Amino acid sequence: MFIRKNKIIITKQQASAKVVLKYIADNLEVMFPHSKKASIRLRYLKFPQWENYLPSSVYLVADKLVRRGLIEKVSTPDGIIVKITDKGKRQTLKYDLFKLTPPKSDWDGQWRLVFFDIGEIDRNKRNSFRTYLRNLGMELMQKSVFVSPYDVFDQVAYIREVLDIPHGVKLAKLSWIENQDELKQIFEI
């Protein structure tokens, strides 16, 4: 939005794959009608996110998502129904991984360790897993070992399932660890 000679002009923006995919995932399916009359009726339903984006960019992003296998289009006499696929649902779960935060609780005297052995074939998954563990507030002890004084097992289990690496990640809980005085200083406990 910008102002030009006492007029407020609202500009529309390009739609992103993340926005379109999240919208379809939240609504399970979206109908794009064939006729102009039906599309005018659709406008009155007030899709809140769609009003801010250029319609052409929404259609282009939808086509890209179909090619990537994240959504599918089904033609009906009334219009085109766009549905999310299982692969698309998994991708929306990945978007939610960045929202995970370290738990805020008192230390119970137990150390949580996460060990992983994820092969070179899955390098991208391995690097993503490390990033998510750091976002949870875990500290790197060795190349494939992270430690935390807080109960992060539920979040780590969720991450490994979404990334599809359940067998390469192991969890451990310890009451003592060799360098725990240094770890207490790092975690400020």
Please list the pLDDT of the chain residue by residue as tens digits (189 residues).
555 555 555 566 777 777 777 777 777 666 666 555 544 444 444 455 566 777 677 778 888 888 999 888 888 877 777 888 888 888 888 888 888 888 888 899 999 999 999 999 999 999 999 999 999 999 999 999 999 999 999 999 999 999 999 899 999 999 999 999 999 999 998
**What's the pLDDT at 42?**
47
HSE, CB side, 13 Å, CA atoms: give it for residue 187. 28
The pLDDT score that the predictor gives to residue 118 is 94
Give residue 32's pLDDT. Answer: 63
Q: Count structural domains, the chain.
A: 2
CA dihedral 102, 104, 106, 108 (to 10 degrees): -30
Note whether residue 168 is domain-resident: yes
Residues 113 and 151 in one domain: yes
Reduced to 3 states (helix: H, G, I; strand: E, B; else coil), residue 8 is strand
Residue that is last in its domain, among 85, 110, 145:
85
In-domain check, residue 91: no
If asked whether residues 105 and 72 sit together in one domain, one would say no
> Tell me, what's the pLDDT at 71?
86
pTM of the model: 0.69
Q: What is the pLDDT of residue 45?
A: 44
Whether 74 and 37 share a structural domain: yes
Assess whether 162 and 125 both reside in one domain.
yes
The pLDDT value given to residue 35: 58
**pLDDT for 80:** 75
Give the pLDDT of residue 76.
Answer: 80
Residue 93 lies in a domain: no
Pair 71, 29 in one domain: yes
**What is the rounded CA–CA span in Å between residue 116 and residue 118?**
6
pLDDT of residue 46: 45
19 and 53 share one domain = yes
Domain boundary among 85, 106, 140: 85
Residues 64 and 116 in one domain: no
- In this structure, is residue 46 part of a structural domain? yes
Which residue segment(s) compose the domain that 140 sits in?
98-187
Question: Residue 17 belongs to a domain with what CATH number?
Answer: 1.10.10
Q: How far is CA 108 from CA 6, 67, 148, 149, in A?
A: 62, 49, 11, 8
Q: What is the CATH number of the domain that holds 134?
A: 3.30.70.240
Tell me, yes or no, whether 72 and 107 share the same domain: no
CA 158 to chain centre: 12
